[in-house]
Chain A
Amino acid sequence: QVWQIRLDMHLLNHDGNITDAASIAGIVALCHFRRPDVSVQGQEVTVYTPEERDPVPLSIHHMPICVSFAFFHQGTYLLVDPSEREERVMDGLLVIAMNKHREICTIQSSGVVMLVQDQILRCSKIAAVKVAEITELIQKALENDHKARKEGGKFGFAESIPNQKITTFKMESAAVDTNNVEEQAGEIIAKADPPSEIFVNPILHTPGTAQIGEGIENSWGDLEESEKEEAAEEEGESKAAAFACQKSETEDTSMMSKTKKDEPIVLSDSEEEEVVILEPQELPRRTR
């Protein structure tokens, strides 16, 4: 049995260089995550809930961060961290993933640019500097969050949205006057029509089967006059048979029923005269 980790990344805004942003977000999320504590004794495994024991962090050996370089004019010009427009017109892209110990984790080159060795060495030196800065930023942010959680301050995404920018609007939680709410509600109820009475008399067919309500009349098309008469006749006939052998009939949802609601209602299928009752659990339900 092993733990399975799932990392969901949501791209909120694309202004170029998703690779770098996603790598930073991913590694920070993994460092920030806490998993439930587990103790293993022989074959027994106990997983503790967050309330029983504090969740423990994952064991992260190192933090690889991607840095992207865009090349233009066959390698003459080099841009670090290209924006969206620069990405669109670049000739080639070089992505280097490095950790703060200056170990290269990934190198990926794409596009129509052929790179020379010292260009790549230069890029890796730039990447080392950038990665060192970014790793420091990450450490500081994680520490701040840790402190805020310990001291009970506010944390999370909502707090990170800057308050002072022109494009953000924040309103303090406002009190709403709910003094006369009950009166107002009472008025509304008094004026409203009472809800139509719904008779819920379950119709008991046999022990174990019941039907609430009757089916609505088929509104797809008008039955021809003759058909209606026929149906009425057949119903009349089988109703007689039904009263005679009331207990040995299976019911079917019928289209037209004008029976009173207080009597035990017997719905008859106008096509069948003789039916057999099976065990209540196996009662077949046939609907037209």
Chain B
Amino acid sequence: PVTPPWLSPGDTSVLAGLYGPAEAKLSKELPDRAALEVLLRPKVGLPGVLERSREQQLRQTCEAVVLGVLHPRTAITLVLQVLSDAGSLLSCCLNAACMGLLDAGLPLCSLFCGVTCALGPDGAITLDPTARQEQEARAVLTFAIDSSERKVLMSTTKGSCSVEEMQQCLAAAQRAADTIFQFYRDSLQRRYSK
């Protein structure tokens, strides 16, 4: 079961495929909850260390949301294929992952979305930056924000910024999350209204 590719401004697209809950290998199964595995495939080359670290971040975000206790001793596999990368890749992966979880009908306690903020040298905040804006920025922060109370599920920073700037980016990201959740709603409504 595969979701259509998720796009973000700048034409970054990620394809998400979710399989499960299916039978888990004995070595991987957990007695009380579902074992979640995330595989991130880059566009070119074999998955390397960067992909592994992204996979861990995505996995921990998903585990916080998926009600794994309803499906013990099963395996849920999420495969993300990067189709094109033009900036804000991690938040695109987060959005694709959430849509994949929704599409597959897995029980979730809340939705989540990913927002990237780039801090320019003068302190200006750009949301969902393109690859070029990311390179020129002083710091790039990615937040995974949940839908029930706009709390932070995961945050990653590259570069340096002050605490105030981080809080500002977070507040901006929470605003942007509203738009994204509205988009989720609209697209699901359209999809299931036929």
Interface size on B, residues (CB 8 A): 36
The interface residues of chain B lying within 8 Å CB-to-CB of A167 are 4, 191
Within 8 A of B (CB), among A138-181: 154, 156-159, 161, 166-171, 173-174, 176-178, 181
Complexed CA–CA distance, A186 and B164 (Å): 7
B163 at the interface (CB under 8 A from A): yes
Inter-subunit contact B172/A10 (CB<8 Å): no
Proximity bits, B105-136, A CB within 8 Å = 1, else 0: 00000000000000000000101100000000
Do A12 and B84 contact each other (CB < 8 Å), given the known contacts A169-B190, A188-B171?
no
A189 at the interface (CB under 8 A from B): yes
Within 8 A of B (CB), among A22-42: none
Cβ-defined partner of A12 (8 Å) among B11, B81, B171: B81
* Shortest Cβ gap from A109 to chain B (Å): 32
Q: Which residue of B lies closest to A188 (CB)?
A: B167
* Shortest Cβ gap from B51 to chain A (Å): 13
Cβ-defined partner of A159 (8 Å) among B11, B163, B170, B179: B11
Interface of A: prevailing SS: loop
A182 at the interface (CB under 8 A from B): yes
A262 at the interface (CB under 8 A from B): no
Complexed CA–CA distance, A8 and B4 (Å): 21
Interface residues on A, range: 20 to 34
Do A185 and B9 contact each other (CB < 8 Å), given the known contacts A8-B45, A13-B2, A169-B183?
no
Interface of B: prevailing SS: mixed
Proximity bits, A246-280, B CB within 8 Å = 1, else 0: 00000000000000000000000000000000000
B15 at the interface (CB under 8 A from A): yes
Do A174 and B179 contact each other (CB < 8 Å), given the known contacts A157-B13, A157-B84?
yes
Cβ-defined partner of B183 (8 Å) among A13, A166, A171, A188: A171
Inter-subunit contact B13/A158 (CB<8 Å): yes
Q: Which residue of B lies closest to A10 (CB)?
A: B81
Complexed CA–CA distance, A174 and B9 (Å): 10
Complexed CA–CA distance, A171 and B128 (Å): 14
Cβ-defined partner of A181 (8 Å) among B83, B86, B171: B171
Proximity bits, B16-28, A CB within 8 Å = 1, else 0: 0000000000000
Inter-subunit contact A158/B45 (CB<8 Å): no
A184 at the interface (CB under 8 A from B): yes
B87 at the interface (CB under 8 A from A): no
Inter-subunit contact B172/A176 (CB<8 Å): yes
Q: Which residue of A lies closest to B173 (CB)?
A: A176
Inter-subunit contact A169/B186 (CB<8 Å): yes
Within 8 A of A (CB), among B137-194: 163-164, 167-168, 170-172, 175-176, 179, 183, 186-187, 190-191, 194
Inter-subunit contact A176/B168 (CB<8 Å): no
Inter-subunit contact A181/B172 (CB<8 Å): yes
Inter-subunit contact A189/B175 (CB<8 Å): no
Inter-subunit contact A182/B11 (CB<8 Å): no
The interface residues of chain A lying within 8 Å CB-to-CB of B9 are 173
Inter-subunit contact B4/A168 (CB<8 Å): yes
Q: Which residue of A lies closest to B123 (CB)?
A: A182
Cβ-defined partner of B164 (8 Å) among A12, A170, A178, A185: A185
The interface residues of chain B lying within 8 Å CB-to-CB of A178 are 125, 127, 171-172, 175
The interface residues of chain B lying within 8 Å CB-to-CB of A156 are 11, 84
B59 at the interface (CB under 8 A from A): no
Inter-subunit contact A176/B7 (CB<8 Å): no
Complexed CA–CA distance, A12 and B194 (Å): 25
Inter-subunit contact B164/A189 (CB<8 Å): yes
The interface residues of chain A lying within 8 Å CB-to-CB of B84 are 156-158
Do A181 and B7 contact each other (CB < 8 Å), given the known contacts A8-B45, A157-B84?
no
Inter-subunit contact B179/A176 (CB<8 Å): yes
* Shortest Cβ gap from A27 to chain B (Å): 18
The interface residues of chain B lying within 8 Å CB-to-CB of A173 are 9, 128
Q: Can you list the 10 inter-chain pairs with the closest CB atoms, starting with the nearest? A: A158-B11, A185-B167, A169-B187, A185-B168, A173-B9, A184-B171, A181-B171, A176-B176, A157-B84, A178-B172
Q: Which residues from chain A sit less than 8 Å from chain B, CB to CB?
A: 6, 8, 10, 12-13, 154, 156-159, 161, 166-171, 173-174, 176-178, 181-182, 184-186, 188-189
| A and B contact pairs by CB, cutoff 8 A, 23 listed | A10-B41, A10-B81, A157-B13, A157-B83, A158-B11, A158-B13, A161-B5, A166-B194, A167-B191, A169-B186, A169-B187, A173-B128, A178-B125, A178-B127, A178-B171, A181-B175, A185-B167, A185-B170, A185-B171, A186-B164, A188-B167, A189-B163, A189-B164
